[in-house]
Chain A
Amino acid sequence: MALLEVRDLRLSFGGLKVLQDISFSVEKGAINSLIGPNGAGKTSLFNCLTGFYKPKGGSIRLGGRPIAGLPPHRITALGLARTFQNIRLFKEMSVLENAMSGQHCRSRHGIVSAILHLPSQRREEDMIRGAGMRWLEFVGIAEHAHRLAGGLSYGDQRRLELARALASAPEIILLDEPAAGLNEREKLDLVHLIRRIRDETGVTVLLIEHDMGLVMQVSEKIVVFDYGQKIADGTPEAVRADPKVIEAYLGTED
């Protein structure tokens, strides 16, 4: 059984059909990508998967459980974490506090135990802090733990978003254009980091990307969209040779 299974997913805004009968699946432990030209519906699909949009029809299953229509925080708790296309950090808070936010849905102590300073609450705080630090180390920005997140360089902010998502202990992590705004060197680092996420933590990765070079380099399977429909699905080699994909990206000869 696939870890993430999307079947006949439909989404429309008013009369505009944004997604039409999308079906694909992501196997556990894979690195897959969704690509397509601007306006193809990639981000809309992403928002359906993460609970920010409610699809009009079809199903989304995570580890066999239906998640379509659940609120975002429930989906995260069930094991699907995300990053944002235009970095959405808590800029006024410390880097560590940002990383700790992922642990919220994996912990449970509330207001009363915090006021009473219960030993179990203290231990849980230690655990949350420890997890935050570990993920900062994993992405390589632990030395900035006590700086404000807004003061990090652009590349480090992207890393922090990854650390924050990973801190929620996901089964699968969805990366929305993680290479946007990165230079070539930073892109290489990113490819390396994405591989490490899968290889060292076993977390499945689903990318949405514009950057064809990066996608071809890192993905085992690629799903291609255009105008809200799936037009191809397969290995990088197969997708690259597909006439429909070439047409969508380069246009047709008249």
Chain B
Amino acid sequence: MSDGARTLPAAAQPPLVRRSHLLPGLAALGCALVLPHFANAYVTEVATTALLYVVLCLGLNIVVGYAGLLDLGYAAFFAVGAYTTGILTSEFGFNFWLTIPVAMAAACLAGVIIGAPTLRLRSDYLAIVTLGFGEIVRIIARNLDITGGASGLVGIERPEILGFKLMQVQHFYYAFLALALLAVFVCLSVERSRMGRAWFYVRYDEDAAAGIGINRVSAKLQAYMMGAVIASVAGCLYAAKMTAISPESFTFNQSLLILLGVVLGGMGRIPGVVLGAILVALLPEVLRGAGTYRPLVTAVALLAIMLFRPNGLWPDKRG
């Protein structure tokens, strides 16, 4: 046995970004930073939506890609964030920034409420329960007075940074870009940490993970909570951008689109998930020319991708 004082090169911690990814990553970031200066309002708007999906897909990827739990009601956590900001700013006059910590706490709570009783279920049953949860949240939002019923909330306060009010499309583009970068940083940090590895252990072999000393219920619950928090922050910013939200923004369809982004790009791997998220946002716009055939063309395109690249466009090397 080694004396432990010997430092092995192999024992060094891996860098946050692999060297081979550094240059392409910086190039992509550079393009993203200058995009609004060359694109018109329409393109910037679509790009903003793409960035929203990047954040949501990265959040869902923690649940689906890292911990291996199928979640069909992820839009519920997005709704929790959006409605928290909506209600607190329009009804109680809160400052936008103060609504974020409240939304994060609410999302954590929602994550525990859905997680605690269901995490002992196996994947298929878990998927059904999460689907139900997503619908429950949407229907509650539709029927309560405080959430504005079916017509939703209007007149949500726009955020200010140091006296500068976010108003135009470009402002929100940069706000979502900042949030997406933060989400990437958070995911990279957690992915290679003790809890990130625990999620992978649980995903690959739950019994072996338990046998080696990992509390699987706690690990899954934490994956749920972290995914929920990321979606809720995206929801806060979404509400501020739209200034009006209604239950129809948080349907099962929305949950499916986010899941589609995760699966399409390649579960478990950040570059793949970012790519998938962008595709999910862009496909409907690119295919606008197909007119009434758009859903059909979209479906065929997606089927083709899954048929020829079953592990996603940019799959996890780990398989």
Contact = CB atoms under 8 A, between A and B. Distances in A.
Interface of A: 50-52, 71-73, 76-77, 81-82, 84, 88-93, 96-97, 100-102, 104-105, 107, 109-111, 114-115, 117, 121-122, 124-126, 128-130, 132-134, 137-138, 142, 145-146, 148, 164-165, 168, 200-201
B211 A109 contact: no
B211 A82 contact: yes
A125 B213 contact: no
A27 B319 CA distance: 44
B194 A124 contact: yes
B1 A125 contact: no
A100 B12 CA distance: 13
A137 B6 CA distance: 12
B161 interface: no
B8 A104 contact: no
Given A115-B190, A121-B193, A130 B4 contact: yes
Interface of B: 1-2, 4, 8, 10-13, 185-186, 189-190, 193-198, 200-201, 204-205, 207-216, 222, 226, 318-319
A117 B194 contact: no
A129 B13 contact: yes
A101 B201 contact: yes
Greatest chain B CB density within 10 A among A84, A93, A104, A117 is at A104
A98 B207 CA distance: 14
A126 B8 CA distance: 11
Contacts of B204: 90-93
A104 B214 contact: yes
Contact of A110 (B185, B195, B214): B195
B214 to A, nearest CB: 5
A52 B222 contact: no
Contacts of B215: 71, 73
A103 to B, nearest CB: 8
29 contacts: A52-B207, A52-B210, A52-B211, A71-B210, A72-B213, A76-B213, A90-B200, A92-B319, A93-B200, A93-B318, A97-B197, A97-B200, A101-B212, A102-B212, A110-B194, A110-B195, A111-B190, A111-B193, A111-B226, A114-B196, A115-B186, A115-B189, A115-B190, A121-B193, A125-B194, A133-B2, A133-B8, A133-B11, A165-B212
Given A81-B213, A109-B194, A133-B10, 13 more contacts: A76-B211, A81-B212, A90-B200, A90-B209, A107-B194, A111-B190, A115-B186, A115-B189, A121-B193, A122-B13, A124-B194, A126-B13, A130-B11
Contacts of A72: 210-211, 213
A102 B319 CA distance: 23
Nearest to A96: B10
